[in-house]
């Protein structure tokens, strides 16, 4: 059965941290291309309607950013683990006010990374009195009336929820290890960190600290990989920009792969826009 697309809809985008804001352009691009292909008119937020925004206030710093995206309702610096997001609540209120039944997301994770919240959204807003239709760029044929496709949606939401919880555990554990090191670091420090020298003051030698210059390159690597999904593409990007490895050499795909696969960036946990990074494969000596 061919899916019937609406004539008009609202669209919603979300990023969790300042470092992810480039990813919002990807969401907007994907949503816009889908709407152009299917002939859907996007209804963006009308920031000139002061009466509406008095009833649904958002922080000024977020408003200043949201204005740059006139066709998509966007939240900034808000975790997918909560539904308490100012723009998200505003767009749902606007849909009810204007009788709009369709909302487009880039991916189910932009709706929520909490399994319970995602399922409750379906039950309360899609099957509930509002009768909302949710569409996703990454799952364009999704039909919530089809039990098999609804199961796929729930499985995707479950994976997003699991990923959020795993990252939270890994980040918490690694940050505690960095703060409370009792052992001396063995071998070469992972990219993005450095180990204090043997001659450092008592109790400090061998401890790991963040190396800002390398962290900035780690950010570039993770950001570019999320955009192109290619290790060789990221290596080419770094080399074209004149960014070198720790030893001053050329980047190769295998080096990029190691950093991507052995890194975790805390991007869904806090609203404080803090960047936290650690390598998964930390190893420590048994000696004090």
Sign (positive or negative) of CA dihedral 183, 188, 190, 194: positive
Output the pLDDT for position 204.
57
Domain with CATH 3.40.50.1390 in the chain: 8-160
Please state the φ and ψ torsions of residue 120, each to the nearest 5 degrees. Answer: -65, -35
* CATH code 3.90.1750 region(s) in the chain: 182-279
Q: 168: closest CA among 245, 80, 46, 60?
A: 80
User: 19 and 275 in contact (C-beta within 8 Å)?
Assistant: yes
Q: What is the CATH number of domain 8-160?
A: 3.40.50.1390
pLDDT at 20: 52
Residue ranges in the chain modelled with pLDDT below 70: 1, 17-23, 80, 164-188, 197-208, 262-288
Helices 231-240 and 253-261: angle between axes, nearest 10 degrees: 110
Written as one string, the DSSP assignment of 114-137 is -HHHHHHHIIIIISSTT--EEEET
Task: Quote the pLDDT of residue 147.
Answer: 80
pLDDT of residue 280: 47
Tokens of 86: 């100012």
Out of 3.90.1690, 3.30.870, 3.30.70, 3.90.1750, select the CATH number for domain 182-279.
3.90.1750
Contact 232, 260 (CB under 8 A): no
Element (H, E) at 165: helix 147-179
């Amino acid at each position: 059965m061919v899916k019937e697309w609406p004539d008009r809809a609202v669209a919603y985008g979300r990023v969790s941290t300042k470092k992810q804001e480039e990813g919002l352009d990807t969401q907007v691009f994907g949503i816009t291309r889908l709407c152009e292909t299917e002939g859907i008119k996007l209804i963006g937020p009308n920031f000139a309607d002061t009466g509406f925004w008095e009833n649904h206030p958002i922080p000024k710093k977020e408003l200043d950013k949201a204005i740059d995206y006139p066709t998509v309702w966007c939240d900034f610096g808000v975790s997918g683990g909560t539904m308490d997001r100012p723009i998200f609540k505003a767009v749902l209120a606007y849909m009810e006010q204007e009788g709009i039944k369709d909302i487009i997301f880039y991916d189910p994770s932009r709706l929520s990374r909490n399994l319970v919240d995602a399922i409750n959204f379906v039950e309360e807003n899609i099957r509930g009195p509002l009768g909302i239709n949710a569409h996703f760029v990454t799952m364009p044929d999704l039909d919530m009336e089809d039990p098999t496709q609804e199961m796929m949606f729930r499985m995707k939401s479950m994976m997003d929820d699991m990923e959020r919880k795993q990252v939270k555990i890994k980040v918490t554990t690694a940050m505690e290890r960095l703060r409370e090191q009792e052992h001396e670091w063995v071998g070469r420090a992972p990219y993005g960190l450095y180990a204090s020298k043997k001659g450092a003051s008592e109790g400090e030698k061998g401890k790991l600290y963040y190396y800002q210059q390398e962290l900035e390159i780690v950010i570039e690597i993770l950001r570019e990989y999320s955009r192109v999904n290619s290790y060789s593409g990221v290596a080419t990007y770094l080399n074209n920009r004149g960014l070198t490895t720790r030893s001053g050499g050329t980047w190769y795909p295998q080096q990029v792969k190691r950093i991507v696969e052995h890194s975790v960036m805390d991007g869904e946990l806090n609203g404080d826009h803090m960047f936290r990074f650690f390598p998964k494969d930390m190893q420590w000596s048994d000696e004090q």
